[in-house]
Amino acid sequence: MGEAESNDQHISLESTPTWTVATVCFVLIFVSILIEHGLHLLAKYFTKRRKMALTQALDKIKSDLMLLGFLSLLLTVCEKLIANICIEKKVAQSFNPCKNMAGHEEEGSKCVQQGKMSLMSRKGVQQLQMLLFFLAFFHVMLSFLTFSLGICKMRRWGSWEAETKTLDYQFSNDPRRFRFIHQTSFGRRHLTSWSEHQYLRLPACFIRQFYGSVFKGDYLTLRHGFVMAHLSEGSNFNFQKYIRRALENDFGVVVGISLWIWMFSMLFIFFNAYVFHNYFYLPFMPLVMLLVVGTKLQSIITIMCLDSYEKSHVVIGTILVKPDDHYFWLGRPKLLLHLMHFILFQNSFQLAFFAWSWYKFGLRSCFHRTTKDIVIRLVMGLIVHILCGYVTLPLYALVTQMGSSMRNAVFPESVVTGLKRWRARAKKNAARKSQSPTRTSLGTPLDASLDDSPSLRNLDVTLSMELGHRTSKNSVEAAAERNQAPELAWKFGELAYSFKGFELGRTHSVRMGNFHMEHN
């Protein structure tokens, strides 16, 4: 029986019926077209809903799948070449994943005749191709799972956002009302006996992740601090939708596979050798790192409350927290996102490695020595993704808005696209007139006045755009709420641009002879 199976496995296409080859090719092509068509429909859906961030994330997924497919193809082409690279047996038998288990070289190979062993056998190359497939599948599926959990958690915040429009909320936060900070719900939660002591605050913030990671008082207070710092008091800006757009942008970062992520993946494979006893620590590393990130985010909220309390014990209306980058590690809020990216990918890699080894070598293999190893790997992998998606990622999306600058997500996609197009056209027109000796009414060239404008250089530093002068906060806020795109209109030798829903606070005139440009 064994000899018959061995002979059957070595039958080439020369001895295979053509109808079987055609059938297999047809099935593979049909499945590939279905997957490609499904991704195309998903991209059309995101475009129709104006989810440009998710469209970009989908394009990044396609690029990663193409890269993994190219690696698989490259391994197929170089399979024989890799197998013909010979190394000494002593070197080949070091750092094995299994204890006292030497590799078995294929009979009749070039390296066996030389008394050596292949760098990697042809069978090993084929198994590595299968690992790449499992990695691609688990990374994409688990990334979407994490993102979906985060969106589900944020839907609960919609009722809190709607509450800010009610009369009860406006009455309870009347700016003429005086209260002590510790009388507010935010103060009662964070101004406790352990808050002022770092070694007591960190354990409390660590525990706080596991029950109600985001309380209503935290959300409303951080929302108020954001609005007061970047918009205007009494604004009806939809903070929950803004956070959701920011999370969609962050998803494009999390779902990608960058070079440094690949390098750490290679280290993970290397440390799977038996001599490192990786089963003691590798399954727990993503969970420990995720809990550290969650603790940091919780402590930032508490520290902001303490800072406000130190400035004044009395609050007028609502307690005011001031956004600032210094609350975050190295003053970089994005650093926490990159850490979560690393955590999620490594966790996906471990689950993919577990599924691959189960598929290729069975549930009981040297990779899973005991039942305890199997349970630990599965439980840790699921806990990390659920905890990150439902707890840490929404908490990150909320707390990182307390940075010093504002992000592009404050504008709807149509407004961002319109602003970029207007900027490109404005700079193009300025360049066209750069050779003209005519000066503006202020005595400066038109291209210089445009280049010096912060609104043309940076769209995401602050919501208050400038074009020679600072515009009204309320006008920018109106554009973000009404989700309308800018328009660029030319009339009778005049350049007049206007944003639907936008009403810029001041009018700036630039005269170039008979040419008059107005910004309304």
> Is residue 232 helix, strand or coil?
coil
Judge whether residue 348 has pLDDT over 60: yes
Q: What is the pTM of this model?
A: 0.72
Please give the torsion angle defined by the CA atoms of residues 108, 114, 115 and 116, in that order, rounded to the nearest 10 degrees. -90
pLDDT reported for residue 18: 85
Asked if residue 296 lies in contact with residue 329, where contact means CB atoms within 8 angstroms, the answer is yes
Residue 75 pLDDT grade (very low, low, confident, very high; cuts 50, 70, 90):
confident
Query: How far is 339 from 263, CA to CA, in rounded Å?
Result: 15
- pLDDT tens for 154-202 read 888 888 888 888 888 877 777 777 778 877 888 888 888 788 787 888 8
- Average confidence (pLDDT) over 6-26: 76
Tokens at residue 394, please? 């929404």
Alpha helix (H) residue ranges in 156-254: 157-163, 167-172, 185-190, 198-208, 216-230, 239-254
User: Tell me, what's the pLDDT at 297?
Assistant: 92
Q: Phi/psi of residue 425, each to 5°? A: -70, -40
φ/ψ bin of 454: left (φ > 0), alpha (ψ from -120 to 50), beta (otherwise): alpha
pLDDT tens-digit profile of 133-156? 888 888 888 888 888 888 888 888
The owner of tokens 């940075």 is: 403
Beta bridge partners of 511: 516
Residue 56 has pLDDT above 90, yes or no: no
Q: What is the pLDDT of residues 363-384, one digit of tens each?
A: 877 777 778 888 888 899 889 9
- In sequence order, the β-bridge partners of residue 470 are 466
CA distance 263 to 276: 18
The model's confidence at residue 454, banded by pLDDT at 50, 70 and 90, is very low
SS3 call for 180: strand
Lowest mean pLDDT among 325-329, 432-436, 496-500: 496-500
- Give the up-direction half-sphere exposure of residue 99: CA atoms within 13 A in the CB hemisphere: 7
What pLDDT was estimated at residue 412? 64
Structure-token match 């935010």, residue found: 186
Burial pattern 315-329, b for ≥16 Cβ within 10 A else e, equals: bebbbbbebeeebbe
Short-list 158, 242, 229, 250, CA closest to 481? 242
Quick one: DSSP state of residue 105?
A: P
Given a cut of 90, is residue 277 above it in pLDDT? no
Q: Which residue has the tokens 């009778």?
A: 492
If one compares 218 and 445, the residue with the highest pLDDT of the two is 218
Average pLDDT, the chain: 75
8 A C-beta contact, residue 276 and residue 374: no
Q: 433-443: buried (b, 16+ CB within 10 Å) or exposed (e) per residue?
A: eeeeeeebeee
Distance of CA 162 to the CA centre of its chain: 27
Percent of the chain residues topping a pLDDT of 90: 4
pLDDT reading at 292 higher than 90: yes
- Residue 141's nearest CA partner among 153, 149, 152 is 149
Long-range contacts of 27-30 (CB under 8 A, 24+ apart): none
Band of pLDDT at residue 410, cut at 50, 70 and 90: low
Q: Residue 408: pLDDT above 70? A: no
- Stronger pLDDT, 335 or 454, i.e. the higher one: 335
Those residues whose C-beta lies under 8 Å from the C-beta of residue 304, and which sit 6 or more positions away, are 225, 321, 322, 327, 402
Token pair 């202020």 in the structure block, residue: 442
Maximum CA pair distance of the chain? 95
Stated as kind and residue range, the H or E segment containing 282 is none
| Secondary structure letter of residue 166 according to DSSP | S
What is d(CA 390, CA 154) in angstroms, rounded to the nearest whole number? 9
Q: What are the residues whose beta carbons fall under 8 Å from the beta carbon of 155, sequence distance 6 or more?
A: none
pLDDT greater at residue 392 or residue 14? 392
Neighbouring CB atoms inside 10 A of 122's CB total: 15
